[in-house]
Structure 1
């Protein structure tokens, strides 16, 4: 169970020792290492897949699939580093959770200079990776949701990276992609004051 601090708001301590406040995510002192660490240690599908498969590895695969939007795609599930990976059917029953998730996601995207909503191409890449990974790590026949949706499974291979390796690869990809993203950003969309944190 994560360490919890009472008094300021509902907060948790992060791997770096910083505190993350769910009522004030934008002013919380989180880093990209905190995000990578959390995502690397969370298993997708509530752990109900063939073997451990982290959200960090999923994010890397979506980033590799979303050509032209690799940086945004790498961070598309970053909020789960602090919120955990709630399965989609349960999430639909929790409107308050969805509101909190949106606020945490916005704080993270702003921190690293991503303005506006995530591009539609990221969602498309996410669905393509989802279709491919379900074929590889879930029981046969569980990919029926794809039929009729015109989702072309991404040409990816799930490697089941251990957490330490998934974290390392995630951080390396972040450091590689961020400079290129800064260069291609629209003029006038500068980084927020906290965006230089790592």
Structure 2
């Protein structure tokens, strides 16, 4: 379904995406989840609950994680936080308090995303070490104001850090998706979501 509903007519658990998809938070469906909506939302969601010295998006975080990942899990690295496009980026202390309810909703979205974008769930677990490394990089740069490049044991080159504005982060996320997706998957996604081509 892709009809924008007036806010006052919302039913519990339903919300609109920027593209007009109607999402059921309790029962997300593959045909309502698009890579263009994911890129758009993640590019406008700030990491660390906004408690940083400049805006830094979940989209750019995802790009960073994917860049650090081994070649066979780069797609999983890029998409590891894709569910946050629909449930938000909740800071870890609050997520721990909310607990099971949030996890259940996030897991529903992640299951649909894994299936739709042909991700490997076992590989998603391998991404965690790179996610933690990215968190440390971001903390040092965005909260401790350490602007030096970082040399990390897991990668063989220095990784420069430049904060991207939302519009640029969205495009870079979509370009990374095109780079890491198989040609067959990318062709299928573009057929279903023509906004991808017009966005990059």
TM-score range, shorter chain: 0.7 to 0.9
Q: Is residue 54 of structure 2 the alignment partner of residue 51 of structure 1?
A: yes
For 2:29 and 2:14, locate their aligned partners in 1 and report how far apart those are by CA, in whole Å.
Answer: 13
For 2:44 and 2:120, locate their aligned partners in 1 and report how far apart those are by CA, in whole Å.
Answer: 27
Contact 1:3 1:13 in 2 (8 A): no
For 1:122 and 1:158, locate their aligned partners in 2 and report how far apart those are by CA, in whole Å.
Answer: 20
Q: Is residue 126 of structure 2 the alignment partner of residue 121 of structure 1?
A: yes
Q: Over residues 109-150 of structure 1, what are the superposed CA-to-partner deviations in whole Å (9 max), with x where a residue is unaligned?
A: 111111434433210110111111111111379xxxxxxxxx
Contact 2:62 2:78 in 1 (8 A): yes
In the superposition, the TM-score normalised over structure 1's length comes to 0.79
Q: Specify which of 96, 99, 109 is matched with residue 92 of structure 1.
A: 96
Q: Specify which of 160, 163, 183 is matched with residue 163 of structure 2.
A: 160
Structure 2, gaps ≥5 residues long: 147-151, 194-200
Contact 2:15 2:24 in 1 (8 A): yes
Equivalent in the alignment of 2:37: 34
Q: Is residue 60 of structure 2 the alignment partner of residue 65 of structure 1?
A: no
Equivalent in the alignment of 1:74: 78
Contact 1:43 1:54 in 2 (8 A): yes
For 2:26 and 2:86, locate their aligned partners in 1 and report how far apart those are by CA, in whole Å.
Answer: 13
Q: Superposition RMSD on alpha carbons, in Å?
A: 2.8
Equivalent in the alignment of 2:175: 172
Contact 2:21 2:32 in 1 (8 A): yes
In the superposition, the TM-score normalised over structure 2's length comes to 0.78
For 1:44 and 1:153, locate their aligned partners in 2 and report how far apart those are by CA, in whole Å.
Answer: 23
For 1:26 and 1:136, locate their aligned partners in 2 and report how far apart those are by CA, in whole Å.
Answer: 37
Q: Secondary structure of the equivalent of 1:164?
A: helix
For 2:190 and 2:62, locate their aligned partners in 1 and report how far apart those are by CA, in whole Å.
Answer: 20
Structure 1, gaps ≥5 residues long: 142-150, 183-192
For 2:48 and 2:163, locate their aligned partners in 1 and report how far apart those are by CA, in whole Å.
Answer: 13
